Amino acid sequence: MPPLSLPDPGHLPAPEELERYEAVRLFVERASSATPTFGLNDSNAKAVAMLCRNLDGLPLAIELAAARTKVLAVGQISSRLAEDFRLLKSTSRTADPRQQTLAATLEWSHDLLDETERALFRRLSIFTGGFTLEAAEVVCAGEGLEKDDVLDLLTSLVDKSLVWVAEHGGAEARYRLLETVRQYGWEKLLESEETDEVGARHALFYLLLAEEVEPGITSADRPKWLKRLEKDHDNLRAALARSLDAEAQAETGVRLAGALLWFRFHHDHVSEGRRWLHKALSVGGPPRSDRPHARPGPRPSAEPDSWTGCRATRTRRALD
């Protein structure tokens, strides 16, 4: 089944109107069945909306989460699910074994994949907030998976509802894994011991993207390039965190923190940018100015004069 309709937690209607959203309505029905005293009210409406959104509107996930209202408040369910979605284990002894847990349901779907589909699926879990075909080809190819095969394999995963097409319009399509599905894929990636290699390719791809876009942010085309990076803001954050926490990727993290300096400045993420720069400089010292020639996307207009000079000096000044 596709995800159910969801409210925007930032613009919630009154509790009595929330149940017009399918995900909330399903949660309330199942929670009321498990806990007859449960009801949607001012004190729990936002928590219920956030929980349904964090579960991506997946019917099975919502049903299993609602069953936990017997022993946990909605806010407790949300916080625990953020750490381990296996909390969604069913307590029913009569349920179909394939429905006993969300993990079991995903395991059943995973077992139907061939080896190359499994490889792509688990490697796609490295992305957060979506990805393009080009990103999937660069980051996920290798170790038995050919770049030319990624499109067909990705199409197969879309057909099997393990990957969703998030955007059809624009210059290129974007894809994503629902968060609960991504968490399952991440566990498979950890089991495969490919995390370091795939993580390094992910960080390098987004470093090259950031360095490609960087000059355009100080040009007349600024809105265009800010929008391009905003689409992958979650991936950029993940790449920064992963590379700065891994000694072998420290230089990538340092360069990425520097390349995102003007993006943070013009996109009102100044405080966050300063935190990343502080961490980058504490980990790897001043960023290097040398860059590889390969680029993952179209090159913006020529660098403006204001962009010349030492990256380390600019980074230090940004922190002063």
* Dihedral over alpha carbons 161, 163, 164, 170 (to 10 degrees): -150
- The pTM of the full predicted model, rounded to 2 decimals, is 0.73
Number of neighbours of residue 116 by Cβ within 10 angstroms: 16
Q: Mean of the pLDDT values across residues 29-36? A: 92
* Confidence tier at 224 by pLDDT (50, 70, 90): confident
Range of weakest confidence among 16-25, 88-97, 225-234: 88-97
DSSP assignments along 97-108, one per residue: GGGS-HHHHHHH
- Residue that wins the pLDDT comparison between 169 and 81: 81
Please say if the pLDDT value at position 300 is more than 50: no
Q: Are 183 and 85 in contact (CB under 8 A)?
A: yes
CB 243 within 8 A of CB 256: yes
Reported as a pLDDT band with limits 50, 70 and 90, residue 122 is very high
Lowest mean pLDDT among 56-70, 148-162, 279-293: 279-293
Side chain identity, residue 115: E
- What's the confidence (pLDDT) of residue 246? 73
299: left (phi over 0), alpha (psi -120 to 50) or beta: beta
Query: Is pLDDT of 125 > 90?
Result: yes
Confidence of residue 297 (pLDDT cuts 50, 70, 90): very low
Nearest to 199 by CA among 242, 146, 234, 235: 242
Residue-wise pLDDT for 150-203, tens only, equals: 999 999 999 988 999 988 777 789 999 988 899 999 999 999 999 999 999 999
The CB density around residue 217, as the number of other CB atoms within 10 Å, is 26
Report residue 161 CA to chain centroid gap: 17
Instruction: Please tell me the predicted confidence (pLDDT) of residue 97.
Output: 64
Predicted local distance difference test score (pLDDT) of residue 245 = 80
> What does the buried/exposed string (b/e) look like for 143-166 if buried means 16 or more CB atoms within 10 Å of the residue's CB?
eebeeeebeebbebbeeeebbbee
Residue 288 tokens read as 């290097």
Under 8 Å CB-to-CB from 311, ≥6 apart: which residues? 255, 258, 286, 287, 288, 289
Comparing 108 with 32, the larger pLDDT belongs to: 32
Question: Does 273 score more than 70 pLDDT?
Answer: no
